[in-house]
Amino acid sequence: MDPRITLLKKFYSTMQKDKIKLESNCYGFEFLNTLLSHDIKLEYGELTSSLIHKYKLVNIPEYRMDTLLQGHINKYYNVCLYFDEMANNIFCFNLDNNFKENNTALIPEMQYAVTKLTKHLTELGIEPLVIVSGRGYHVWCRLYEPIDNKQLHNFMLQMVAKTLEALHIKGYNYNRVKFNMYPNNEIINTVSLRFFGSEHVKNKIFSYVYVNSSVLGEEDSWKFFADYLKNKTISKEQFMQAADKLARYFK
C-alpha cells in the first residue's frame, strides 16, 4: 500500500469511513460502473456550474476506500469526507474569499485572517496545519482522541470571533472573509471536506502546506503533513485548557 494512504487514513481517522463525495471531470456509464463496483451505492450525482461532476458514494468497504484514496493521491479526482456525527479528533476552519466581484482572488484580508487565526491558535498551544485551498485556506487541528462536536464548534466560534475582531482593529472589512467551521452538526451529512494530498479538480492546484508565510512544494508538503501528524497532535487535556483560556477572553 502507498504509505501516503496510511497517513491520510490515520490523520482523518474519526471521519465517516463508508461514505465520500468524489469530485471529478469524468462521467458516463463506464466511469460510474467502475465507481459502483463491490456493492458501493450512489446516493446522488451532480453537475456543477463549473462542469465538475460530484458523486456521493455510500456503503464503501475499506479495501475499496483504499483504492479511491490512491486515485485521489494520483490526482485522478478529489475525495472529500464527512465528519463523524457525534465526536471528532480533528476540526477545520475553512476560510474563503467572500468578495463577490472576484471570489477567486487571494485578498489582503485573507492573508491577515489566516495569519491571526494561526497566531491565536498557537498561543493557546494548538499549532494548526494550514492548507492552501484556491481562494483561501483550510486550517486543520488534530487531537489524539475525539471531542464532542458541540464543544469543538463552540471553540471554533470563539476563535473566529477573536480573528474577526483582529481584522476590525486592523481596519479591514471582515465581511470580505467567509469562515466556515467543521464539524457542524447542522450540516454534518450534507457538507464534506477535501482530503489533503491531491490537486483541486477544477484549478489543478495541489493542496500545498502553508507555513511561516511560505507555500511548501508538493514533496515538502507531504513531509510536513507526516511530521505534523506525528509531532503536533494534541491531547484532550491540552484542548480543554485552550478552550478554557479562550472562553475567559470573552468574559
Instruction: Report whether 153 contacts 184 (CB < 8 A).
Output: yes
4 by Cβ neighbours in 10 Å (0-12 / 13-18 / 19+) ranks as middle
Mean pLDDT taken over the chain? 92
Look up the CATH architecture of domain 3-81.
2-Layer Sandwich (3.30)
- What are 150-166's pLDDT values in tens digits? 999 999 999 999 999 99
Q: Where are the alpha helices (DSSP H) in the chain?
A: 3-11, 29-35, 62-73, 108-123, 149-170, 218-231, 236-249
| pLDDT bucket at 226, cuts 50 / 70 / 90 | very high
Instruction: Say if residue 1's pLDDT is above 60.
Output: yes
- What are 31-78's pLDDT values in tens digits? 999 999 889 999 999 988 778 999 999 999 999 999 999 999 999 999
Instruction: Say if residue 136's pLDDT is above 90.
Output: no
Residue range 87-249 forms a domain whose CATH class is alpha beta
Strand order in the sheet with 53-58: 41-47, 53-58, 19-24, 78-81, 193-194
Counting Cα atoms < 13 Å in the Cβ hemisphere of 13 gives 12
* Residue intervals in the chain for CATH 3.30.70.3300: 87-249
Pairing of strands 78-81, 193-194: antiparallel
Rounded-to-integer distance, Cα 248 and Cα 251, Å: 5
| pLDDT bucket at 103, cuts 50 / 70 / 90 | low
- What are 69-102's pLDDT values in tens digits? 999 999 999 999 999 999 999 999 999 887 655 5
pLDDT value of residue 85 = 96
Q: Grid coordinates in use for 183?
A: 464539524
Residue 215's identity, in one-letter code, is: V
Residue with cell 452538526: 185
- What are 171-218's pLDDT values in tens digits? 988 888 899 999 999 999 999 999 999 988 888 889 999 999 899 999
Pairing of strands 19-24, 41-47: unpaired
pLDDT value of residue 215 = 94
User: What's the whole-model pTM score?
Assistant: 0.93
